[in-house]
């Protein structure tokens, strides 16, 4: 359900340096436009190299925000993986750094949370407490309660930080 929320919510973001990349979608995986995307890089060679909905787990790389598909988008704004198809479905991802405006970040409550590191819990939710996945950004501006502007580092920066 979190992914559906991401697909229909008005995700306001400003691209700092656009870097758009297409990735093949993991077999049976569903990625919603507007959601966060990752790729596994662990020991499972069957899944390595394919994009999937982001999940808080070991061995996942942050790729960016799903912004569409070169040819496989459905009317429900989803891309469903099918690796046995003649043309494997692909997702178009904004991999560059961006600022998400007025986004909910669990664990924030005051202006003193500015510059705290941000981690993803799934393909829609952010938190300031790390569990398994690497940091993907930081709080840039605190508005009120848990609403913040978040600087996303982008795929390359999230990889080396």
Model confidence pLDDT, tens digit, residues 45-81:
667 889 999 988 878 889 999 998 887 666 678 899 9
The verdict on 30 and 60 lying in the same domain is: yes
The verdict on 119 and 76 lying in the same domain is: no
**Strands of the 60-68 sheet, one edge to the other:** 20-24, 90-94, 60-68, 36-40, 51-53
- Structural domain including 124 reads 98-160
Instruction: Give me the chain's average pLDDT, please.
Output: 85
Strands 30-32 and 78-80, sheet pairing: antiparallel
The verdict on 149 and 109 lying in the same domain is: yes
Last residue of a domain, one of 45, 60, 94: 94
Last residue of a domain, one of 69, 94, 119: 94
pTM listed for this prediction = 0.84
User: DSSP per residue over 93-152, as a string?
Assistant: EE-S-EEEEEEEEET--SGGGTT-EEEESSSS-EESS-SSSPEEEEEEEEEETTEEEEEE
Q: What is the dihedral of CA 103, 18, 55, 135, to 10 degrees?
A: -70
Provide the phi-psi class of 118: left if phi over 0, else alpha when psi is between -120 and 50, else beta: beta
Q: Assess contact for 95 and 28: CB atoms under 8 A.
A: no
For residue 7, what pLDDT is reported? 46
Tell whether the model's pLDDT for residue 8 goes beyond 50: no
The verdict on 6 and 78 lying in the same domain is: yes
The verdict on 69 and 117 lying in the same domain is: no
Length of the chain: 161
C-alpha–C-alpha distance, residues 97 and 158, integer Å: 9
The verdict on 51 and 90 lying in the same domain is: yes
Tell whether the model's pLDDT for residue 11 goes beyond 70: no
The verdict on 47 and 117 lying in the same domain is: no
The verdict on 31 and 108 lying in the same domain is: no
């Amino acid at each position: 359900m979190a992914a559906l929320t991401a697909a229909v919510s008005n995700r306001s973001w400003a691209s700092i340096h656009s870097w758009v990349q297409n990735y093949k979608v993991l077999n049976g995986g569903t990625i919603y436009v507007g959601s966060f995307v990752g790729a596994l890089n662990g020991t499972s060679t069957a899944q390595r190299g394919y994009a999937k909905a982001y999940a808080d787990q070991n061995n996942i790389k942050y790729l960016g925000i799903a912004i569409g598909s070169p040819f496989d988008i459905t009317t429900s704004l989803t891309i469903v993986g099918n690796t046995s198809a003649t043309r494997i479905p692909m997702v178009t991802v904004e991999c560059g750094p961006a600022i998400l405006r007025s986004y909910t970040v669990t664990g924030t409550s005051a202006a003193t949370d500015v510059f705290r590191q941000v981690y993803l819990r799934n393909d829609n939710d952010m938190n300031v407490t790390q569990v398994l996945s690497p940091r993907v950004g930081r709080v840039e501006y605190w508005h009120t309660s848990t609403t913040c502007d978040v600087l996303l580092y982008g795929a390359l920066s999230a990889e080396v930080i």
